[in-house]
Amino acid sequence: MLNLSIVIGVSLILISKNIILLNEETLILLCFITFCYLGFTKLKDSIAEDFDNQKNKIRNEFLESFQLVLNSVSINLKWWKIFPGLITNFVRLETHLKSLSSVMVLQLPIIKNHEIKRKYFKKLAFTKRLEQHTNKLIVLLLIKKIEKITFLKYFYSTKIKISPFKCNSQIALREYIEII
Which residue type, as a one-letter code, is found at position 60? N
Contact 141, 153 (CB under 8 A): no
The dihedral sign for the CA sequence 92, 94, 95, 96: positive
Q: What pLDDT score does 29 carry?
A: 85
pLDDT, tens only, 39-59:
888 888 888 888 899 999 999
Q: CA 139 to CA 145: how far, in whole Å?
A: 10
What DSSP character marks residue 19? S
Going by C-beta distance under 8 Å and a sequence separation of 6 or more, which residues neighbour residue 126?
none
pLDDT, tens only, 75-94:
888 877 777 777 788 888 88
The structure's pTM equals 0.33
pLDDT, tens only, 91-120:
888 888 889 888 888 888 888 888 888 888
- CA within 13 Å, CB half, 30: 13
pLDDT at 31 over 90: no
